[in-house]
């Protein structure tokens, strides 16, 4: 890694002892105890600036140590403040886009605080991430524990700041971690409002591996003469926006190869290229994670009985408790392990020993690609990322990312690796329980919705996808009736929409007895209704001309189709709901406030 920006060029030393102004002894002791022999380039650039009196906008690759680059200056600034913090006031705020990241930052902060000597003034922090803790509990804790630093997700922070007892006048420094993500989610007005609430003489730092142009607007409103620190990476004379220890590949696939290739690689099918202790697989949607987690777990049990790989799953639609627990178990396990997740775990998470990142599909936001891949190859450790691209237009993604200084090389897999496409297993597995098919349907539909959200619209175009093959790859028995499939030419549609042998859907059972009983009840009610209707129709038809009777068959057929469509429409509606960006869950409160237009400056006037 080379720090070659104007600011970074001035770095004379990366020794912690040489930081100017010099570090407080217990801070120095802390970083040395962590085993960090010297500062990373971003730390060496930022520490003197942010600890001194500069606002900073910092762009440095994933895993380059940005967290300490803002935590240490914040601590140093607070130590130097004359006044101890009073109840209702705070000295520093760190905003993070997700709960997990906020928790991680908070735990690094606490591990630094552990080094405060007995005879030195205590420093305290508070985590504000919403979820299970009601805001009044957070407020109570805030007033009683008098934290110096708040580590918060934006929704809960704004909720807290609304309380009259909370005063911002002692705030010394504000950090927006993953600043561009805050804007991606459309909360620029809320952040602007926050800027206006906080004292003008504060210091502000924006940090991310991807500082987009849009951040410029935040910089203009919220920062004063900021220094931009860009820590660049040059590899073989070419600039890149990913760590030099991270190799990124792409594999060109047809839909039916995606599952077998993923299974092959996670079961160590190509240990030479993708060796791993821990790996992360990114799926497009939450329901996709749930579905593939259950499918792949069962597949491994049956087809790879000797495999001892632990598969975890986590996504933003899960309550924060289980999310935290899963992440903890994945972090702590001593076995070879894989985490199936979504973009909720794309940014900032620092999980040791993640060697490989698989992306089943590219993310809708190109910047997320780099953040996802960056969960591997951190802090000088070797890592690898691989993305699957559908053969055809999606291959343009490689050049598109090249322009963004993300270089990829092709991973050419052997036919042998995907020879078993697992379709027989998947069909047998799906037929065991109708619920699995419901999930497959929702996963497929939510994938289609996800696909239409790609910002690189010229690359990711639905009409260029082989939707029939894709539906098959999700294990669907029959094509759903959805508007997106109308673009598929008639000739490409399988007869009756069946993607394999036709089955009697009325006989397709749920494994769950209650669910099955309720399905049978509905079916019986429907049959009864049809019978009664038939009776009525018979009387009517008896009095009808023969010509009209010939139309009856068609009408019946149409009704059957309509019934099928109703069932699918229900599943599709559920899927549409689950395809919402799950990262927004953390933002729920803020979204609601935004809708009510409560997050503008005026609503904070009483603070
Ligand atoms: N000076 C250092 N020397 C060695 N390792 C370090 C140093 N500073 C931080 N680290 C370690 O590097 C890893 C990555 O740090 P951190 O999570 O801060 O990266 P980041 O730049 O914020 O990444 P991202 O953009 O993905 O959020 C962490 O495990 C951290 O403990």
Please, which residues have CB within 8 angstroms of residue 438's CB and are 6 or more apart in sequence?
571
Place of tokens 């680059």: 69
Ligand 1 midpoint to CA 207 (Å): 13
Which residue minimizes the CA distance to atom 1 of ligand 1? 39
Q: 539: Cβ–Cβ under 8 A, 6 or more apart, which residues?
A: none
Question: Degrees (nearest 5) of the Cα angle 439, 307, 385?
Answer: 70
Ligand 1: does its nearest atom lie under 6 Å from the Cβ of 593? no
Tell me the percentage of the chain whose pLDDT exceeds 70.
Answer: 88
Q: Which ligand 1 atom is at minimum distance from the Cα of 60?
A: 21
- Ligand 1 mean position, distance from CA 180 (Å): 19
Residue nearest ligand 1's atom 9 by CA: 65
The DSSP element (H or E) to which 150 belongs, if any, is strand 149-152
Cα dihedral 320, 325, 326, 330 sign: positive
Widest CA span of the chain, in angstroms? Answer: 102
Ligand 1 atom with least separation from CA of 352: 29
Among 104, 180, 233, 350, residue to substitute to test ligand 1 (most atoms within 8 Å of Cβ): 350
pTM: 0.86
Ligand 1 pocket test, candidate residues 41, 64, 65, most atoms within 8 A of CB:
65
Q: What is the mean pLDDT of the chain?
A: 88
Beta-bridge partners for 410: 250
State residue 568's pLDDT score. Answer: 60
* Atom 27 of ligand 1: nearest residue by CA position: 348
From the CB of residue 297, how many other CB atoms can be counted at a distance below 10 Å?
15
Q: Alpha-carbon distance 262 to 279, whole Å? A: 12
- Spatial contact of 480 and 471, defined as CB atoms under 8 Å apart: yes
pLDDT at residue 482 tops 90:
no
pLDDT-derived band of residue 10, with 50, 70 and 90 as boundaries? low
Which atom of ligand 1 sits closest to the CA of residue 379?
12
pLDDT exceeds 90 at position 516: yes
Average pLDDT of the segment spanning 229-243? 88
Kindly write down the DSSP assignment for every residue of 72-121, as one continuous string. Answer: HHHHHHHHH-SSPPPTT--SEEEE-SSHHHHHHHHHHHHHHHTT--TTSP
Residue 602 main-chain phi, psi, to 5 deg: -55, -40
- In the predicted model, is pLDDT for residue 581 greater than 60? no
Torsion of CA 38, 41, 44, 46, to 10 degrees: -140
Ligand 1: does its nearest atom lie under 6 Å from the Cβ of 41? Answer: no
**272-321 tens-digit pLDDT:** 999 999 999 999 999 999 999 999 999 999 999 999 999 999 999 998 88
Cβ contact 173:202 at 8 Å: yes
Residue 193 binned pLDDT confidence (cut-offs 50, 70, 90): confident
Name the closest-CA residue to atom 29, ligand 1: 350
Q: Concatenate the DSSP letters of all residues of 237-284 into one string.
A: TEEESS-TTEEEEEEEE-HHHHHHHHHHHHTTTTTTTS--SEEEEE-S
Which atom in ligand 1 lies closest to the alpha carbon of residue 39? 1
Helix axes 286-303, 546-578, angle to 10 degrees: 90
Least confident of 319-323, 335-339, 583-587, 603-607: 603-607
pLDDT score of 555? 72
DSSP H or E stretch at residue 340: strand 337-341
User: In the prediction, which pLDDT does 232 show?
Assistant: 82
Q: How much is the pLDDT for 540?
A: 73
CA distance 345 to 246: 18
Dist CA 356 CA 336 (whole Å): 12
């Amino acid at each position: 890694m080379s720090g070659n920006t104007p600011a970074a060029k001035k770095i004379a030393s990366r020794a912690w002892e040489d930081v100017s102004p010099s570090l407080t002894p217990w801070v120095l002791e802390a970083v040395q105890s962590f085993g960090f022999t010297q500062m990373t380039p971003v730390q060496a650039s930022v520490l003197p600036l942010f600890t001194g009196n500069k606002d900073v906008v910092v762009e440095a690759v994933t895993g380059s140590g940005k967290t300490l680059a803002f935590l240490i200056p914040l601590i140093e600034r607070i130590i130097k403040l004359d006044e101890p913090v009073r109840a209702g006031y705070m000295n520093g705020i760190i905003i993070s886009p997700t709960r997990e990241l906020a928790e991680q930052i908070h735990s690094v902060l606490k591990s630094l605080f552990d080094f405060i000597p007995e005879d030195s003034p205590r420093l305290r922090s508070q985590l504000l991430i919403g979820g299970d803790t009601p805001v009044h509990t957070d407020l109570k804790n805030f007033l009683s524990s008098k934290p110096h630093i708040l580590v918060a997700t934006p929704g809960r922070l704004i909720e807290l700041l609304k309380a009259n007892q909370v005063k911002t006048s002692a705030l010394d420094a504000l950090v927006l971690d993953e600043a561009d993500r805050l804007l991606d989610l459309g909360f620029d007005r809320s952040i602007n409002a926050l800027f206006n609430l906080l004292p003008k003489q504060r210091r502000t730092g924006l940090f991310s591996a991807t500082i987009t142009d849009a951040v410029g607007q935040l910089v203009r409103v919220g920062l004063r003469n900021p220094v931009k620190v860009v820590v660049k990476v040059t590899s073989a004379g070419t600039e890149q926006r990913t760590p030099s220890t991270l190799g990124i590949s792409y594999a060109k696939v047809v839909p039916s190869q995606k599952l077998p290739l993923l299974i092959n690689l996670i079961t160590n099918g190509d240990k030479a290229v993708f060796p791993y202790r821990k790996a992360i697989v990114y799926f497009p949607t939450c329901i996709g994670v749930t579905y593939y987690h259950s499918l792949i777990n069962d597949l491994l049990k049956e087809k790879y009985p000797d495999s001892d790989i632990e598969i975890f799953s986590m996504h933003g639609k899960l309550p924060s408790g289980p999310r935290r627990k899963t992440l903890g178990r994945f972090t702590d396990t001593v076995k070879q392990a894989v985490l199936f997740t979504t973009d909720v775990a794309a940014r900032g998470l620092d999980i040791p020993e993640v060697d490989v990142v698989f992306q089943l599909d590219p993310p809708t936001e190109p910047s997320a690609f780099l953040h996802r891949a960056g969960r591997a190859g951190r802090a000088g450790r070797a890592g690898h990322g691989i993305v699957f691209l559908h053969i055809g237009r999606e291959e343009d993604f490689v050049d598109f990312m090249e322009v963004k200084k993300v270089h990829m090389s092709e991973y050419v897999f052997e036919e042998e690796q995907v020879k078993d496409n697992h379709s027989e297993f998947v069909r047998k597995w799906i037929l065991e329980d109708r619920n699995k098919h419901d999930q497959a349907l929702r996963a497929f539909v939510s994938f289609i919705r996800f696909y239409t959200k790609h910002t690189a619209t010229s690359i990711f175009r639905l009409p260029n996808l082989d939707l029939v093959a894709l539906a098959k790859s999700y294990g669907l028995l029959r094509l759903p009736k959805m508007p997106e499939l109308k673009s598929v030419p008639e000739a490409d549609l399988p007869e009756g929409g069946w993607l394999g042998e036709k089955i009697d859907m009325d006989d397709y059972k749920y494994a769950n007895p209650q669910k099955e009983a309720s399905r049978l009840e509905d079916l019986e009610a429907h049959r009864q209704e049809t019978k009664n209707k038939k009776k009525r129709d018979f009387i009517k038809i008896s009095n009808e001309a023969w010509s009209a009777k010939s139309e009856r068959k068609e009408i019946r057929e149409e009704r059957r189709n309509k019934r099928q469509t109703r069932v699918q429409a229900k599943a599709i509606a559920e899927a549409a709901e689950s395809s919402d960006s799950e990262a927004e869950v953390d933002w729920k409160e803020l979204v609601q406030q935004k809708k009510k237009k409560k997050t503008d400056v005026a609503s904070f006037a009483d603070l």
